[in-house]
Each structure stands twice: as structure tokens, then as C-alpha cells.
Amino acid sequence: MYLTVNAQSFSFTSEQTQIIIDKQDTIYVLKATVKNLSDQDINVQGFRRVQQIPFSWSTRLCFGNCYDESTDNTDITPIFAHDSLEFELDVIVSAETGSAVIDIDMKSGLETYTLTFNLTTSAISVDTEIIISDEFQLYDNYPNPFNPTTNIFYKIGINAFVKLNIYNIQGKKIHTLVNKKVNKGNYQTFWNGKNIIGIAQSAGVYYYQLQIIANNQTIETITKKMVLMK
């Protein structure tokens, strides 16, 4: 079974989602291909984060080149336009009982893949794939407090589907200001203090929530508070 995840500028395709371990102290290899989807050269770097691995187990990350077991960050590696780079995770699971989690971050510009590998004495599996970015911001609305209109500003770090909803203090959604796919960039919208059918709302505390969706997954949710005055 293949696993393919597409970010904006590159994709990750693994040759398997699980390897069964039938011999201890043997090198097991998970291979994948990282492809540049853009028309320009990109630089990609891999970061390995191992959590609570048993003492006698070992892992090695290959990202174009193979790195020593103790090296967690690969070199910055260029991938030419529409070219590919080979990815490999080498794992030795000893007879020692236990389990571990390995997160591999692959970063290119604002984009980051985080792939989670679960290791046990019986199998290695790719469990989770997430696209994240440091460049999601929901700024303070202005003015705040306000009557009757306030401006809302937000920043999106990748092309994604965006929802911006308004909730009252009871948590009931009363309006959707944004519900569409947008390109990365800075945006502004406003709320006029009314619900979705145009009825003016009473004074009080309200919440505005930004939700970013990519590859049918919610990758970021940010909520802030504002006060409507009368």
C-alpha cells in the first residue's frame, strides 16, 4: 500500500505504510520519494525526533545522503523543479521489548511535513501525516470593544481552505464570515454585529475562530475574543 501526501510545493510518497518485523536485530528500511511539485528549485531539510526509544534500538535518516545515527538534522538539500529526492528511514528493532515514536519533519520554505512512525517489536508503521506551517495568524480585531463594526485580520501560510466563524458566549455559531479556498497571504474581513440572517446581536462577549483545512484535515484552529458594545 502506498501513502501519498501533497503539500503546496512538494509531495511525499512512501512505498509502504507498514513493515512486519519477523527477525530481531535486522535492518528494516522504509523508503519514500519526495518530489518537487513546483516550477522552481526548492530546498528541503529533514529533522528526526525520536521519543523514548529503547536503549538497544537504533534509527538512521537518509535524505538524499544517509546520516549517522546520532545526527538528527539532515543537510539542506536542493531539489530541482519537478525532480525527486529519495527518503529512507533505517530501523533496527532489537529483541528488547518496547515501543517508540519517530517524527520526521520535512521543511521547505513555509511548509512542513510531519510524518509519525510507530515502532514496536512486531511492526513499523506510518501512522499520521500532517501538513503544518508556522505562518498562520489570527490578529486582534480592531476596534475592540466595537459598535457596531469591527475589522478582523488573518494570515495564511499556505494555499488552503479557510473558515472564519463567529460564536456567542454560549458557543453557538451565529455567523460565517469566510468559507472558501484562499492562496497564502494576508487577509481582512469585518463583522457588523449581526447574525447570518441580519439580526443585530446584543452587547456582550463574542468569539471569532479561524480554521485552516488542507488535504481534508484541519491543520490549525485559532480562536480569539471580542466585545460588542451598545
pLDDT tens per residue across span 122-132: 888 876 555 55
Phi, then psi, of 80 in degrees rounded to 5? -70, 160
| 86-114 mean pLDDT | 83
Query: Which tens digit of pLDDT belongs to each residue from 152-165?
Result: 999 887 788 999 99
Sheet strand arrangement including 137-138: 137-138, 150-156, 185-191
Domain ranges of the chain: 3-132, 137-228
Q: Which pLDDT belongs to residue 94? A: 87
Q: What percent of the chain has pLDDT over 90?
A: 35
The predicted pLDDT at position 203 comes to 96
Matching CATH topology for 3-132 and 137-228?
A: yes
CA distance 153 to 139: 5
Report pLDDT for 3.
66
Backbone angles phi, psi at 183, to 5 degrees: -85, 160
When pLDDT is averaged across residues 15-37 and rounded to a whole number, the result is 87
Rounded (10°) CA dihedral 138, 139, 144, 148:
-60
Domain 3-132 falls in which CATH fold? Immunoglobulin-like (2.60.40)
Q: What are 107's three cell numbers? A: 521543511
- Percent of the chain exceeding pLDDT 70 equals 91
Are residues 187 and 135 in contact, defined by beta-carbon separation less than 8 angstroms? no
Ranked by mean pLDDT, the top range of 47-51, 53-57, 207-211, 215-219 is 207-211
- What's the number of CA atoms in the CB half-sphere (13 Å) around residue 93? 23
Confidence of residue 148 (pLDDT cuts 50, 70, 90): very high
Mean pLDDT of the chain: 86
| Confidence band, pLDDT 50/70/90 cuts, at residue 133 | low
Model confidence pLDDT, tens digit, residues 171-204: 899 999 999 999 888 999 999 999 999 999 999 9
pLDDT digit string (tens) for 21-30?
Answer: 888 889 999 8
Position 2 confidence tier, pLDDT thresholds 50, 70, 90: low
Provide the pLDDT for residue 136: 81
Domain 137-228 classification at class level: mainly beta
The pLDDT value recorded for residue 215 is 67
Residue 42's identity, in one-letter code, is: I
Residue positions counted in the chain: 230
Spatial distance between the Cα atoms of 146 and 120, rounded to a whole number of angstroms = 55
Q: Report the pLDDT value the prediction gives residue 166, as an integer from 0 to 100.
A: 97
Q: Is-above-0.75 flag for pTM? A: no
